[in-house]
Copies of this chain bind each other. A is one copy, B any other.
């Protein structure tokens, strides 16, 4: 864990801790000692504490008053909950699109293309690379939610995205990439045709399958 640059300390720390929590280098349940961490990162405690508050809202860490800050534990139960929450957001997203009769989603389409390029060219480490890069979160879904132009919905998704990334990272296998990709393509297609209800069904099936997959891997 190398030192940070000079400017925007709090935000930099947030990004760093996010990555390391997602990758498990900061393990679930691990205590984050303020003095140790701040000295290791070459910063002081106040900005670190501000970073904790931000990460706390994402449920990446849990802060217990007068005790300390801990990396949030992962569990099958929480996994079910967060994917159910994601489903609800994306259901709402599709409803929004339907209400506005939006069918063309250029941003989502280009995100999909980008992902396709990446999966065809890169090695098995692509997920790890993606996580390490500045924006480790699934572009497709973010762009989809962003297309609603509902800032609160977008905010919700950004809140759960880091934890979603934790589960995905923990259970990563390259095999499923093509399946996921294919289903994303189908979904975009269904929306383009205005078949919003079908898109929802596909989404639900997709999530249910994925949660089962994660559950099996987690045991």
Give chain A's interface residues, CB within 8 Å of chain B.
8, 11, 46, 49-50, 53-54, 57, 59, 65, 78, 81-82, 84-85, 87-89, 91-92, 95-96, 150-153, 155-156, 159-160
The answer on a CB contact under 8 Å between A85 and B152 is yes
Chain B residues whose CB sits within 8 angstroms of the CB of A88 once the complex forms:
88-89, 91-92, 95, 153
The answer on a CB contact under 8 Å between B49 and A85 is no
The answer on a CB contact under 8 Å between B159 and A81 is no
Chain B residues whose CB sits within 8 angstroms of the CB of A59 once the complex forms:
151-152, 155
The answer, among B11, B46, B151, B160, for a CB contact under 8 Å with A152, is: B160
CA distance A160 to B91 in the complex (A): 19
Chain B residues whose CB sits within 8 angstroms of the CB of A159 once the complex forms:
57, 155-156, 159
Do A151 and B92 contact each other (CB < 8 Å), given the known contacts A53-B54, A57-B57? no
Oligomer: number of copies: 2
The answer on a CB contact under 8 Å between B46 and A78 is no
Chain B residues whose CB sits within 8 angstroms of the CB of A53 once the complex forms:
50, 53-54
CA distance A200 to B24 in the complex (A): 40
- 5 A–B contact pairs at CB < 8 A? A81-B150, A84-B92, A84-B153, A85-B92, A88-B88
CA distance A89 to B65 in the complex (A): 30
Closest CB in chain B relative to A34 CB, distance in Å: 12
Chain B residues whose CB sits within 8 angstroms of the CB of A160 once the complex forms:
152
Chain B residues whose CB sits within 8 angstroms of the CB of A92 once the complex forms:
84-85, 87-89, 91-92
CA distance A30 to B37 in the complex (A): 35
CA distance A92 to B94 in the complex (A): 13
Can you name the residue of chain B whose Cβ is closest to the Cβ of A59? Answer: B155
The answer, among B57, B85, B156, for a CB contact under 8 Å with A150, is: B85
Chain B residues whose CB sits within 8 angstroms of the CB of A156 once the complex forms:
85, 156, 159
Interface core residue of A65, A95, A155 (most chain B CB under 10 Å) = A155
